[in-house]
């Protein structure tokens, strides 16, 4: 693995190995509180979008592994305005041992990686959110003790989070149902691309428009904001279209009593999810947030090398 950009481009063994490493690194940290796996290593972090979890989890993750992180915001960089992506990549990779980018266009991360001489990690683009998906499967496996055969129901927009969940479900043999209003589904090209991997691992991929039916056999119910960052132009229409898809107490009554609730955060409480569900006993939302740290440490170690 030269870079961590999208789960679609990684082989099954690599993705499964990252998850196993995340479990081990989390256990190691809980037991000892220290690690030298990335001693002396520096991660450059480029942010074109605001961030809480991505910023803190990568920064703290590098510190916990014995390394350092360098934050660069849009004002310092100016991708393709102040300077070209190619020139930024060729420059910054002379200074650091790895780069994490959180930006808008997926093509920026792809182009950056093609010119970088060090590993590049996708911290989020409009197309994918693979670090979040790895934290999600870590959370699910910790709770259920398995991933194969798990019924993961995602209720919301066919966005970057949904796309990465689709691929991670296929990698680990989870059954994935994407429930959305008509017109907000993931494109058919996504389903076609993932089909062979899903079949090989026994994952069943379904697109639905009925949240009440979809959650009846759910092990995990996942939701996300109705209006993703940068898509505010159609906010009013989206709010209207997605209102029947809110994850609330009434919907939860249709699901098994041991189903868990997931959200990648930030949440628009009162829109896609209600407080009573987000803060309820079935919620694993903040376990997911913590596991961003441990899943990303596994990615960092895999890409930037172990010092142990």
Q: What are the pLDDT tens digits along the chain (308 aa)?
A: 999 999 999 999 999 999 999 999 999 999 988 789 999 999 999 999 989 999 999 999 999 999 999 999 988 888 988 899 999 999 999 999 999 999 999 999 999 999 999 999 999 999 999 999 999 999 999 999 999 999 999 999 999 999 999 999 999 999 999 999 999 999 999 999 999 999 999 999 999 999 999 999 999 999 999 987 666 668 889 999 999 999 999 999 999 999 999 999 999 999 999 999 999 999 999 999 999 999 999 999 999 985 44
Q: Verify that 273 and 189 share a domain, yes or no.
A: yes
In this structure, are 118 and 183 located in the same domain? no
Residue with tokens 């596994």: 298
Residues 234 and 150 in one domain: yes
Whether residue 115 is contained in a domain is answered as yes
- Are residue 270 and residue 299 in the same domain, yes or no? no
In 3-state terms, what secondary structure has residue 261? strand
Q: Give the C-alpha separation, 157 to 242, whole Å.
A: 8
Give me the pLDDT at residue 227, please.
Answer: 86
Is the previous residue joined to 240 through a cis bond, with omega within 30 degrees of 0?
no
With contact defined as beta carbons under 8 Å apart, do 61 and 303 qualify?
no
**Residue 297, token pair as written in the block:** 């440490």
Euclidean distance between CA atoms 211 and 213, whole angstroms: 6
Task: For residue 17, give the nearest of 102, 137, 110 by alpha carbon.
Answer: 137
Q: Is the same domain home to 183 and 269?
A: yes
**Residue 2 belongs to a domain:** no
Do both 12 and 69 map to the same domain? Answer: yes
Residue for token pair 């919907």: 251
Tokens (6 digits) for 255: 């699901």
Residue 34 pLDDT = 77
**Alpha helix stretches (DSSP H) within the chain:** 12-32, 53-64, 74-77, 85-92, 106-115, 130-144, 160-172, 188-201, 211-214, 235-242, 249-252, 275-278, 285-304
CA distance 304 to 166: 27
Residue 75 belongs to domain spanning: 7-129+289-304
Quick one: pLDDT at residue 232?
Answer: 63
Tokens 């420059």 belong to residue: 91
Q: Are residues 165 and 263 in the same domain?
A: yes
Q: Classify residue 138: in a domain, yes or no.
A: yes
Do 135 and 221 fall within a single domain? yes
What pLDDT does 229 receive? 66
Q: Is residue 1 part of a domain?
A: no
Q: Is residue 81 assigned to a domain?
A: yes
pLDDT number for residue 141: 98
Q: Verify that 51 and 65 share a domain, yes or no.
A: yes
Q: Is residue 41 part of a domain?
A: yes
Say if 21 falls within a structural domain: yes
Does residue 40 lie in a domain region? yes
Cα gap 89→187, rounded to integer Å = 31
Distance in angstroms (rounded) separating the CA atoms of residues 287 and 230: 27
Provide the number of structural domains found in the chain.
Answer: 2
Indicate the SS3 state at residue 66: coil
Burial of 5 (0-12, 13-18, 19+ CB in 10 A): buried
Per-residue pLDDT at 308: 44
H/E stretch holding 98 reads strand 98-102
40, 99, 135, 278, 293 from 63: Cα distances, Å: 10, 15, 19, 30, 11
Same domain assignment for residues 140 and 275: yes
Pair (294, 189) in one structural domain: no
pLDDT attached to residue 68: 98
122 close to 132: Cβ distance less than 8 angstroms: no
User: CATH no. for residue 234?
Assistant: 3.40.50.1370
Round to whole Å and give the CA distance between 139 and 68: 26
Do 282 and 138 fall into the same domain? Answer: yes
- Global pTM reads 0.96
């Amino acid at each position: 693995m030269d870079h961590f950009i999208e789960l679609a481009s990684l082989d099954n063994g690599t993705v499964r190995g990252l998850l196993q490493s995340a479990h081990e690194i989390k256990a190691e940290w809980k037991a000892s509180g220290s690690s030298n796996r990335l001693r002396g290593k520096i991660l450059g972090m480029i942010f074109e979008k605001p961030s809480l979890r991505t910023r803190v989890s990568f920064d703290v993750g590098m510190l916990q592994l014995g390394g350092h992180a360098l934050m660069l915001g849009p004002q310092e960089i100016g991708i393709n305005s102040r300077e070209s992506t190619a020139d930024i990549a060729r420059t910054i990779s002379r200074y650091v041992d790895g780069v994490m980018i959180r930006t808008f266009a997926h093509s920026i991360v792809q182009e950056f990686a093609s010119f970088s001489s060090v590993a590049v990690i996708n911290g989020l683009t409009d197309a994918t959110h693979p670090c979040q998906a790895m934290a999600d499967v870590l959370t699910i496996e910790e709770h259920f003790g398995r991933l194969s055969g798990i019924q993961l129901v995602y209720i919301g927009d066919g966005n970057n989070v949904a796309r990465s969940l689709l691929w991670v479900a296929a990698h680990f043999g989870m059954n994935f149902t994407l429930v959305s209003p008509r017109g907000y589904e993931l494109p058919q090209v996504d389903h076609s691309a993932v089909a062979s991997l899903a079949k090989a691992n026994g994952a069943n991929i379904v697109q639905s428009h009925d949240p009440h039916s979809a959650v009846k056999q759910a092990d995990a119910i996942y939701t996300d904001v109705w209006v993703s960052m940068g898509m505010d132009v159609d906010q009013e229409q989206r709010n209207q279209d997605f209102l029947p898809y809110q994850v609330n107490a009434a919907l939860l009554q249709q699901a098994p009593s041991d189903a868990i609730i997931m959200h990648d955060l930030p949440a628009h409480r009162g829109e896609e999810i209600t407080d009573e569900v987000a803060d309820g006993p079935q919620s694993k939302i903040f376990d997911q947030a913590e596991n961003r740290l441990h899943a990303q440490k596994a990615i960092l170690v895999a890409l930037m090398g172990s010092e142990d």
